[in-house]
Structure 1
Amino acid sequence: MVKEAIDCIDAGTEYCPCKLAEYGQCLICSQCQGQVFCDCLNWKGVCIYQELHNNGYKSKEGRKTFDCNVEEVINHNNNLIVIKFKAPHKLVLDLVKPGSYIFIRTDGNQYFDIPISIMNSDIENDIISIAVEIRGIKTAKLLNTKANENIVIRGPYWNGVFGIKNILAQNNTKALILARGIGLAPMIPVIRKLLSQNNELYAVLDKDPFNINFATEFLDKYKIKTSENSLLEKGQLSDHAKVIIKDNLENGVTFIHIAGADILTYSVINYLNEINRNDITLSCCNNFKMCCGEGICGACTSRFSGHRVKRFCKEQADPRNIFEGRRFI
């Protein structure tokens, strides 16, 4: 059993207290939950209840919507589209950190917003790059995006990666990156952050189901060792992946970032359990469904043993904890 500390990605930021606190459902503050005593679950240096009181028991102003000019659109066989657009400088700065994502409005209607992770945030030129896999009605609408036209976005949001504390704790060590499919996009900010902390990285890339490595443009900017291998075979961790993980652990790797679907994360965790390497720290993509981004609509919620409900658009978690005690029915 991994001891779990509850953490909110927005606690102590300009967006705290949020609507959850206003409605008595704050993730952190006991008094914002209706209790009569002060018992913060994870102190962030700011009293959330005091902030709520000073704001007239109303939430802070939420995320804003921006009209951004599209600089470039790259369409890969109508299966994948890479969009680069110019954004306000502060928004670009806010979206640099690992786990950053935005909502894109595809049809002028707030109910058609889709959450997309940031692939790259260029603070020098104020250009944000995203990659979108075309899967349904809303994402298909993005195929109509053209250069020199406007795109409507909402942000910034930051909980696109679980285990951010583990990423920030890596300094002067060795790390392994396992990325598959569209997970190659949110992998880039993680790589940039780990390199800035003097870590030695090795990235294993599985471009399936795509025919190209669409992240090459950004990977080429960083001096890291990469290879292409299949990470999953018939829904199981591939033999190649097992050998790669074991060899890297023997070579001193103490941290693994998993950028892919939940089945990849789950398989890697199970393999680490099999070889008794629970000491390896992890981070992974947040693959829960997002809708409002504020924990209100319930699309991102999951139920765990003990009648616990977690709102994963805001709640940070260790990758091992998102599967342990989780109710799948």
Structure 2
Amino acid sequence: MIKEAIDCIDAGTEYCPCKLAESGECLICSQCQGECFCDCLNWKGVCIYQELYNNGNKAKEGRKTYDCAIEDVTNYNNNIIMIKFKSTHKLALDLAKPGSYIFVRTDENKYFDIPISIMNSDIENDSITIAVEIRGIKTNRLLNTKPNQNIVIRGPYWNGVFGINTILAQKETKALVLARGIGLAPMMPVIRKLEAQNNELQVVIDKSPFEVNFASVLLADYNMKISENSLLDQGKLSDHAKVIIKDALNDGTKYIHVAGADILTYSVINYLNDIDRNDVSLSCCNNFKMCCGEGICGACTSRFSGHRVKRFCKEQADPRSIFEGRRFI
């Protein structure tokens, strides 16, 4: 059984305490949960209960909405659209972190918000790049976007990646990044951070189900080993992927970042269990459904054994723990 520390991505930030604390559902603070004693689950240097009290027992002001000017749009066969837009300097700084995401819409109707991971945040030019897979009614509207138009965004949000502390801990070591499909977009801030911490990176890309590697332009800015291979074969980890992982581990790699669907993360975890390598640190994409981004609507919740409910738009987790004890019905 994995012993995990409960952590809230917003704890100690300018957005804490949030509506959960105001409603008695704080992830961290026992007193904000209605208890009589102080038993903070993960101290972040700030007393959430005191902050709530000082704010009149009300939540802090939430994320703001911004109208941003579109600089460039690249359409890849109506399957992926890459949008680059201007932002404020503070927003660009906030969204440079691994796991950053925003809610995007082109319509004034707030129900057309789409949660999209940040692909690149250029803090020198205050511009942000996102890549969106066209899947339905909301994303289809983005196909009409053109340069010099406006796009409406809400943010910043930071829980788009599980295992952020693991990413921050990797310094001057070897790391393996496995990315598939639209996971190439949230992979880029992780690579940027790992490179800044002087890690030796090996990146393996599976562009399926797309025909093009839409991250190639950004990847060209980094000096690292990059290859393309099939990572999944009929819903299971491919033989190529197993050889790549095993060779990397034999070469001294003790950290893997998985940027793809849950089936890829789940398959990598199972393979590491099979070869008895539970010592390997992991991080992965947060693929839970997002709707409000504040833990209120319940779209991101998942139920685990012991009648535990986790709000994954805010709660950080070890990639292994999001599958252990999870109820799939």
* TM value normalised by structure 2: 1.00
Note the C-alpha offset of 1:2. Answer: 1.4
| Structure 1 partner of 2:162 | 162
Please give the residue correspondences for 1:182-261 in structure 2 after superposition, counting only pairs within 5 Å. Answer: 182-261=182-261
Q: How large is the Cα RMSD of the aligned pairs?
A: 0.4
1:110-156 deviation digits (Å, cap 9, x = unpaired): 11101000000000001100000000110011001010000000000
| Structure 1 partner of 2:322 | 322
Once the two structures are overlaid, the 10-residue window that deviates more, 241-250 or 105-114, is 105-114
Note the C-alpha offset of 1:57. Answer: 0.2
Note the C-alpha offset of 1:292. Answer: 0.2
Identity %: 80
Contact 1:291 1:300 in 2 (8 A): yes
Note the C-alpha offset of 1:12. Answer: 0.1
* CA distance, structure 2, for counterparts of residue 88 and residue 115 of structure 1: 19
Note the C-alpha offset of 1:107. Answer: 2.2
| Structure 2 partner of 1:268 | 268
| Structure 2 partner of 1:287 | 287
* CA distance, structure 1, for counterparts of residue 171 and residue 76 of structure 2: 37
| Structure 2 partner of 1:38 | 38
* CA distance, structure 2, for counterparts of residue 106 and residue 49 of structure 1: 38
| Structure 2 partner of 1:115 | 115
Note the C-alpha offset of 1:268. Answer: 0.1
Once the two structures are overlaid, the 10-residue window that deviates more, 108-117 or 258-267, is 108-117
3-state DSSP of counterpart to 1:33: coil
Note the C-alpha offset of 1:105. Answer: 1.7
3-state DSSP of counterpart to 1:184: helix
Q: Which amino acid aligns with 2:305?
A: S
Structure 1: 5+ residue runs without aligned partners?
none
Structure 2: 5+ residue runs without aligned partners?
none
Contact 1:106 1:138 in 2 (8 A): no
| Structure 2 partner of 1:305 | 305
| Structure 1 partner of 2:147 | 147
Note the C-alpha offset of 1:90. Answer: 0.4
Please give the residue correspondences for 1:40-189 in structure 2 after superposition, counting only pairs within 5 Å. Answer: 40-189=40-189
* CA distance, structure 1, for counterparts of residue 199 and residue 17 of structure 2: 35
Contact 2:106 2:150 in 1 (8 A): no
Q: Which amino acid aligns with 1:130?
A: I
3-state DSSP of counterpart to 1:322: coil
Note the C-alpha offset of 1:315. Answer: 0.1
3-state DSSP of counterpart to 1:31: coil
Paired residues, number: 329
1:221-276 deviation digits (Å, cap 9, x = unpaired): 01111000000010000000000000000000000000000000000000000000
Runs of 4+ aligned residues of structure 1 deviating over 4 Å after TM superposition are none
Note the C-alpha offset of 1:301. Answer: 0.2
